[in-house]
A and B are shown apart, each in its own frame.
Chain A
Amino acid sequence: MSDLVKVMIDDREVEVPKGTGLVETAASAGIEIPVFCYEPRLGAPIGACRMCLVEVEGLPKLQAGCTLTAQDGMVVKTAASSEKAAEGQNATLEFILVNHPLDCPVCDKGGECPLQDLTFRYGPGNTRMSFSKITLEKPIPVSPLIALDRERCILCYRCTRFSSDVAEDNQLVARNRGSHTEISTFESDPYRAPFSGNVIELCPVGALTSTQYRFEARPWEIQNVPTVCGLCPVGCNVNATVREGKVKRILSRNHPEVDGGWLCDKGRFTYPHLTAEDRITEPLVRGKLGLEPVGWDAALDRAEELLRGAGTRIVTALSGSESVEQAYALARLLRVGLGAHAAVLPESTSDALDAFRLPLSSIASAEIVVIVGDDEVADRAPVVDLWLRAARRNGAEIVHYGPTGTEQTGPGGAAAALHALTESGNGPGDRLRSAERAILIWSGGGGGGGARLAETAHALGLEGKPGSGAFHLPATPNGRGVAAAWAAAADEDESNPEPIGLLIVSGDEAAADPAVRVLAERAENVIAITMFHALAVGWADLVLPATSSLESDGTLLNLEGRLQRLRRTVIAPVPDELAWLSNLAGRFDVELSPHAVVVFDELSARAFGGVDGSELNGTASLPARTPYEAPVPAAEVRAAASAKPSDEHFLGELRLLRYRPLFSGPFVERVGELAFQRPTAELELSTEDATRRAIATGDSVVVRSNGTSIELRARINRGLIAGVARVADEHAADLHLHVEVVKL
């Protein structure tokens, strides 16, 4: 433990660990040191705004409290007890307000604005500024998601520090100098980066606002409902701001171990999918004219009919975004009620990794992190990318084996690299072994859902070190929870029916998955449980409307192995899945509660060691590690095409590396403001391959494989291994594993 020191603040004695920030020290005694620029999550204090001025005994000048740390015997006076400090803070506010437009009545931040609050508490009551304020063009679109009102900006540099020092995207910067300084992107380029939206929450005034939220609500009309984000396996803790039954914005609800208070733009800005134009609000059955709306009773009768008709010859394709309760309910109905055990499960995570469990936040204090896999971390589990950047800033060695990694391996070559880590004389492997805090991360398909990773971690002895561990970044938000729920519902083994009597497609990701589409061609009937028309038409015989994770109570199991609570933030326009699943289950003599908490209790006893659901509220904790057990070799399910290793390398041909970008999928596609974040139709090439073909960034190229050919824009990626052509999934069409790339 660190030494405790005694500090006197406003005649109150406070004891804190030495080195505690003075702002925190004061706060622990219930004393406020007001701040604007200070935000410990952005790194070391910069002392820019001068809001935090305090008097320190022995120092003639006022000091920026935010830059001080507690020292034994320090005597500090804040504005509450020092006239000089009060005068200093009043001065700072007067300066800040010199150019501020004071347009609070029409400002989105009004009512939840630190500048308003601090002016009320510390500021001057009138203005002595008789010159015209600086007027500027406003609002400026920083991107389709963010508007900037430069007149309101107080130049605290929180946003730019986030961009340069946390996300390290360096897209939002300060330009010019002195009083001409302004926040800006480059020319007309938008702030295009995975975490841009955080600057809105960081801005202490209404300078950076969300275009989605602009003029949508006043702070006293809203409610913030705590839940977790259901869009990736991290499960960032969020608040959904709700007004009149509609989600109006998503804010971070800092879970220090999971997300550190950051959100990616997918989690923050995708909520308008709830009100997408093609949202399905009533059941649909296939009639003569295509899909036709029917009442719920008729729909459930039809579902029962289809289920009875198919019996055990049912295959269920799950998305991996269902709550564990939904997946369990579906599994109970099908497996217990009908004996239909066949399922296409999302990529899961091996239980063997539980021996290496640790909070994501420990990545930041690692000495060495080795990432293995074909995929960029940010595409699979975005916030993990921020933890990795924090680790690098803290001095960690970060090694990435992959086609775009620091140690380049060809597509699918990561497995060999992982294996090599355990061989003697392997540099990173030796350092993993000797470090106190070593972390392994699997970022890609294949690898047995982290089973191979667990074996490596075991071989390196990581389970014995509390600061060391291993993470598998699965492809879906709740793949592990869904698989666990499915498994817990019954004991029988699955058998693959042929032909398939009925294909049940659960959720939009499954509905959008080409592999599931292929399966449907072999099915006599299809029931689709989906939110959107476009995903239902053309193949479903019965469509049951789905809800979003923002609309249902439930539980998700994240990639750390942490169970977290989903809350219903708004009432869905359709009944909850559990409601009609319980009804249907009853028709097959399966008892199933329509309430998530009850379902969870039943499931928890079977799959999660009986953990009490009420403990998952607030910020959920991480279960303890379990002893290491060697993984049973598991079947690799629905692994990404890119993960299929191959040694063939035809002369003049490139291996196609498909990747699934963060900004993709049915929800993102339905949010117009996110369109600019989606990947462009481009093909990435290594410098070597580009030079050989005389291709420059920006050139149009034709990509050919086995009779298919598409045109893409080329981009040289200096970090990409030679011999590979990297293309976002959605732009790779039907291209095969090997492609020929020719300049147009």
Chain B
Amino acid sequence: MTAPRPEVVFAGTNGGTLTEIAAYEAVGGFEALVKSRALSPDEVIAELNASNLRGRGGAFFPTGRKWSFVPKPDKIDKPHYLVINADESEPGTFKDREIMLRVPFRFLEGCLIAAHAIESQHVFVYIRGEYEAEFDVLESALEQMRAKDLLGEVTIVLHRGAGAYICGEETALLESLEGRRGQPRTKPPFPAIAGLYASPTAVNNVESITSATTVMEIGGAEYAKLGVENSTGTRVFSLSGNVVTGGNYELPHGFPLRDLINDLGGGIADGRSLKAVIPGGSSTVVLTADEANRVTLDFDSLVGAGTAIGSAAVIALDDRCCMVQLAVRVSQFYEHESCGKCTPCRVGTKWLTSILQKIEDGRGTQADMDLLVSVAERINGKCLCPLGDSDAIAVMSYFDKFRDEFQAHVDEGGCPFHGTSSLDHLLAPVAMHVHNEAVAHA
């Protein structure tokens, strides 16, 4: 039925975990590190370039190139830093957590390889605060590695986040790690030149780094044979929503989206039908069921369909989902997570939510439909970082592709689902630190 499923990230786990160092070594653990340390930093980078491994955090930037942007120590006389983005908070995404839980050593080995490549002795892993079990696993793994003296000159510090989606954005993450409010910085300067403590820094996602271990283990050329052109290697896809068996599935790039949902995910739950798919985390453009059936899970195919692979978080929506309610909930998320630094995002996301809620409540007019489009357009492309844009892009995609449903809310003076939508009355988080804020019960 489906294409073969090579395991790279989860290789050797047999569906279980590799949290004891001996078990990891038994499947060839740390060989890649030994190999890498025998090479010069440039040779490691060349191997990465040959693999064409691209970032798994969302932007799909080539990992080897990112490392090569970090100046050589003789160019900038400051400590170099490797910062791992383990803040995984994009709705729908839960792959990094499973990587850390099941193959912590492969991940940490990748950290040491990357540190060698950028000539850094200081690694910080910024792990989202909600991932307590994952933190414990990493801490134990680090302890085991220290006992075996595998770190060499390198220190790895685990730094816990404290609940802020924006800290997944790399410059906000660096601000947060420096002890500031997690608000994005303007670029340039880019982190490679002036990142953590204004020093050269590479910021990489957990999965990118874990994949780098495999690249060094099997060689860049071999790795590049996996997947498809421009999207090499495997990817851990997080499947969720209205499917029978959600979860993480490591697949080669180019895997048909339809097969992920129907074969691996067991199809749409409760005998319902597929309505739409969010293919790469909440910030990506939604696909209609038809579109979803035509695409494969790789960069080019998804861009061709007007969306993006993002964080490889596939959310399947069945026919019970009201798209206006979805828009409200997604917009509430971005409103809640807006860092508040730039005006269009801080004000615009809130305004957008209000307009959407008004439409959902049946109080919306035709003018509100126009206003919705206008406000979204006024947010998009004006913000300091992509967070505000994401809200506008996601919401506009629901509006564009399911305009009739929005229109029905206005025409019928209420939600056409009449209380049967799966997201009906869904309660967004109550602002944490605001006193006396009315609880947003519908």
Q: What residues make up the interface of A, taking CB atoms closer than 8 Å to B? A: 45-51, 53, 61-62, 64, 67, 87-88, 91-92, 94-96, 98-99, 128-129, 131, 154-155, 157, 174-181
- Across the interface, name the chain A residue whose C-beta is closest to B437: A180
**Interface pair A177/B340, CB less than 8 Å apart:** yes
A319 to B: closest C-beta gap in Å? 45
Q: A48-B343, A95-B378, A155-B343 are in contact. Are A178 and B384 (CB under 8 A)?
A: no
Q: Are B347 and A180 in contact (CB under 8 A)?
A: no
A-binding segment of B54-62, B89-97, B348-356: B348-356
**Cβ-defined partner of B384 (8 Å) among A48, A87, A99:** A48
Minimum distance in angstroms from A408 CB to a CB of chain B: 27
B186 touches A179 (CB 8 A): no
Inter-subunit contact A47/B347 (CB<8 Å): no
Residues of A contacting B348 with CB < 8 Å? 95
From B101-109, B213-221, B272-280, B331-339, give the one contacting chain A: B331-339
Contact check, B433 vs A176: say whether CB atoms are below 8 A apart.
yes
B338, B371, B382, B433: which contacts A50 (Cβ < 8 A)? Answer: B382
Known: A48-B384, A50-B384. Is A178-B344 also a contact (CB below 8 A)? no
Could you say which of A61, A88, A157, A179 contacts B350, with CB atoms under 8 Å apart?
A: A179
Chain B residues near A129: list those with CB within 8 A.
351
New A-B pairs, 19, CB < 8 Å, besides A50-B382, A64-B186, A95-B344 = A47-B342, A48-B342, A50-B342, A50-B383, A64-B384, A91-B344, A92-B344, A95-B347, A96-B347, A128-B374, A155-B346, A175-B433, A177-B181, A178-B339, A179-B346, A179-B347, A179-B350, A180-B431, A180-B433
> Is B164 at the interface (CB under 8 A from chain A)?
yes
Chain B proximity of A632: nearest CB distance (Å)? 48
Which of B181, B336, B343 is A154 in contact with, Cβ under 8 Å?
Answer: B343
Contact of B347 among A51, A64, A98, A177 (CB under 8 A): A98
Nearest A residue to B184, CB-CB:
A47
B1 close to chain A: CB less than 8 A = no
Known: A98-B351, A99-B347. A179 touches B381 (CB 8 A): no
Q: Which of B340, B374, B383 makes the CB contact (< 8 A) with A178?
A: B340
List residues of chain B with CB within 8 A of the CB of A157: 341
Contact across chains for B343 and A96 when beta carbons are under 8 A apart: yes
Are A48 and B347 touching (Cβ within 8 A)?
no
In the complex, residue of chain A having the shortest beta-carbon distance to the beta carbon of B367: A128
**B434 within 8 A of partner (CB):** yes
The smallest beta-carbon distance between B210 and chain A, in angstroms, is: 31
CA distance A47 to B183 in the complex (A): 11
Measured in the bound complex, the distance between the Cα atoms of B181 and A157 in whole Å is 13
A51 to B349, CA, bound (A): 18
Summed over the interface, the residue pairs from A and B with CB atoms below 8 Å come to a total of 92
Minimum distance in angstroms from A739 CB to a CB of chain B: 39
The interface centre, meaning the residue of A45, A87, A157, A178 with most chain B CB atoms within 10 A of its CB, is A178
C-alpha gap A181/B342 in the complex (Å): 11
Q: List 5 contacting pairs A-B, 8 Å CB cutoff, sorted by A.
A: A45-B186, A50-B344, A88-B382, A155-B343, A178-B337
- The contact of B354 among A50, A94, A131, A155, by CB within 8 Å, is A131
Contacts of A181 in B (CB 8 A): 340, 346
- Which of A47, A62, A131 is the most central at the interface, judged by chain B CB atoms within 10 Å of its CB? A47
Pairwise interchain contact B378-A48, C-beta atoms closer than 8 A: no
Separation of A64 and B378 alpha carbons in the complex (Å): 15
Contact B381 A180 (CB under 8 A): no
Considering the chains assembled together, what is the distance between the CA atoms of A96 and B342 in angstroms?
A: 10
Centre residue among B337, B350, B431 by max chain A CB count within 10 A: B350
Q: Which residue from chain A places its CB closest to the CB of B381 in the assembled complex? A: A61
Check if A92 sits within 8 Å of B343, measured CB to CB: yes
Cα separation A51 to B382 with both chains bound (whole Å) = 10
- Nearest to B188 among chain A residues (CB) is A67
Nearest B residue (CB) for A93:
B343
B429 to chain A, nearest CB (A): 11
Which of A46, A87, A92, A131 sits near B341, CB closer than 8 Å? A46
Please tell me if the beta carbons of A50 and B343 are within 8 angstroms of each other in the complex: yes
The residue of chain B having its C-beta at the shortest distance from the C-beta of A96 within the complex is: B343
What's the least CB distance linking B228 to chain A, in Å? 27
Residue of A nearest to B357 (CB): A131
The answer to whether B343 touches A49, judged by C-beta atoms less than 8 angstroms apart, is yes
Q: In the bound complex, do residue A91 and residue B338 qualify as a contact, i.e. CB atoms below 8 Å apart? A: no
B213 CB, nearest partner CB in chain A, Å: 36
